[in-house]
Amino acid sequence: MAEDIKKGLLGIVVDETEVSKVMPEINSLTYRGYAAQDLCAKCKFEEVAYLILNGELPSEKQLKDFEKVERKERNLSKTLLESIKNFPKKSHPMDVARTAVSIMGLEDKETKDNSPEANLRKVMRIFAKTPVALAAFYRIRKGKKIIKPKSNLSFSENFFYMCFGRVPEKEIVKAFDVSLILYAEHSFNVSTFTARTITSSLSDIHGAITGAIASLKGPLHGGANEEVMHMMNKIKKPENALNWINNALDQKAVVMGFGHRVYKSGDSRVPTMREYFSKVAKVKKDKKFEKIYDIVEKVMIERKNIHPNVDYPTGPTYHLMGFDTDFFTPIFVISRITGWSAHILEQHAANKLIRPLASYKGNSYRKVIPINQR
């Protein structure tokens, strides 16, 4: 009989963290003790990024200084810009993000320095430059001119500006900001655990974030928001939704944007994002996706008792904002860089090499037969 295997590390506590927790007493995801939805209501994304990285909400002065650094670090090197221009146009933007961060690691003078001070400086560079790199690729692959970042715009405003050449209505910017806050951190999920695992060998932050991006790309993790949109596009109109979802469940399909390893009776981020999805649909005067959303959700809960996760409302929200579907997960990246980085700093501060064991089920011992006798 094999050892007691915890496949997928299900239920295994592997370390401690101060960054975030799903608190059962308030049934909510919290960052450094604050409920994510409370942060959405009272803060802009940059404040939450500061909180996640530094442990406390910033004062006005601290926020101003933080924003100053982020805005100053937005410019890309010539090498990185030229590389992005030469990437295959059909590349998935998640691969572009992964490669861009890797190139930043080649260029960063402090790559080898794992001190907390150097790591925080590197975080600010990765945090500021990754959206710029992604927006540049967004433009290039459409045959459009790259738009330089503007230092008088907020993080979210600037991302819209660099992708579309304009800053949209304030309701749209706020909804985007809210999505970034909700995506910023979620404890030991697979990409964060990947980042911590890479860090545990005392490797560098660019490598850890590069690995985390690769991990986030998968459809069982960040890639789900793109899959939600593919599903909604297949359903096409609200009249088709009921049949579509019933057929999918009859065929035992995994429905993207539903279910969660941690939340079994509803993801606490969903009600907030659902509200902002509705606001965006109102501004865009397009209720089609909201109708499809409600029908699919109702059937999933009635038939399977499986609730939506945050990728379910973010998918159609980003679509209504005008983003290409394959940019949904990269948007997740530009936010989650904050959570990953906080965990990387935490891992360095109390490191233990992550090295689990496996239960071996291969051949028993055998002797090598020379090639001419095989």
Q: Please tell me whether residue 263 binds ligand COA under the rule CB under 6 A.
A: no
Among 125, 129, 206, 260, which residue sits at the site for ligand COA (rule: CB under 6 A)?
Answer: 260
From the candidates 15, 38, 113, 221, which is the catalytic residue? 221
Our CB check for ligand COA shows the closer of 314 and 347 to be 314
Query: Contact region for ligand COA (CB under 6 A) — 157-165, 173-181, 248-256, 316-324?
Result: 248-256
Q: With binding defined as CB under 6 A, does residue 348 bind ligand COA? A: no
311 labelled catalytic: yes
The site for ligand COA, by CB under 6 A, has a size of 14
Contact between 306 and ligand COA per CB under 6 A: yes
Terminal Cα-to-Cα distance of the chain (whole angstroms): 33
Using H for helix, E for strand and C for coil, what is the string for the chain? CCCCCCHHHCCCCCCCCCCEEEECCCCEEEECCEEHHHHHHHCCHHHHHHHHHHCCCCCHHHHHHHHHHHHHCCCCCHHHHHHHHHCCCCCCHHHHHHHHHHHHHHHCCCCCCCCHHHHHHHHHHHHHHHHHHHHHHHHHCCCCCCCCCCCCCCHHHHHHHHHHCCCCCHHHHHHHHHHHHHHCCCCCCHHHHHHHHHHHCCCCHHHHHHHHHHHHCCCCCCCHHHHHHHHHHHHCCHHHHHHHHHHHHHCCCCCCCECCCCCCCCCCCHHHHHHHHHHHHHHCCCCHHHHHHHHHHHHHHHHHCCCECCHHHHHHHHHHHCCCHHHHHHHHHHHHHHHHHHHHHHHHHCCCCCCCCCCCCCCCCCCCCCHHHC
Q: Which one among 148, 261, 279, 291 touches ligand COA, defined by CB under 6 A? A: 261
Q: Is there binding between residue 41 and ligand COA (CB under 6 A)? A: no
By CB under 6 A, tell whether 331 contacts ligand COA: no
Nearer to ligand COA, 160 or 244 (CB): 244
- Residue number of the CB atom closest to ligand COA: 259
Cβ-contact 31, 184 below 8 angstroms: yes
Is 299 among the residues that bind ligand COA (CB under 6 A)? no
Single residue of 182, 232, 256, 273 touching ligand COA by CB under 6 A: 256
Which residues, numbered 195-234, are part of the site for ligand COA (CB under 6 A)? 220, 224
In the list 99, 197, 268, 309, the residue contacting ligand COA (rule: CB under 6 A) is 309
Q: Point out the catalytic residue in the list 311, 319, 343, 348.
A: 311
Considering the rule CB under 6 A, would residue 274 count as an interface residue with ligand COA?
no
Q: Which of 84, 311, 316, 327 binds ligand COA (CB under 6 A)?
A: 311
- Measured from the CB atom, the residue of 142 and 304 that comes closer to ligand COA is 304
Residue choice 40, 180, 182, 255 for contact with ligand COA (CB under 6 A)? 255
* Residue ranges binding ligand COA (CB under 6 A): 220, 224, 254-261, 304, 306, 309, 311
Catalytic residue numbers?
221, 260, 311
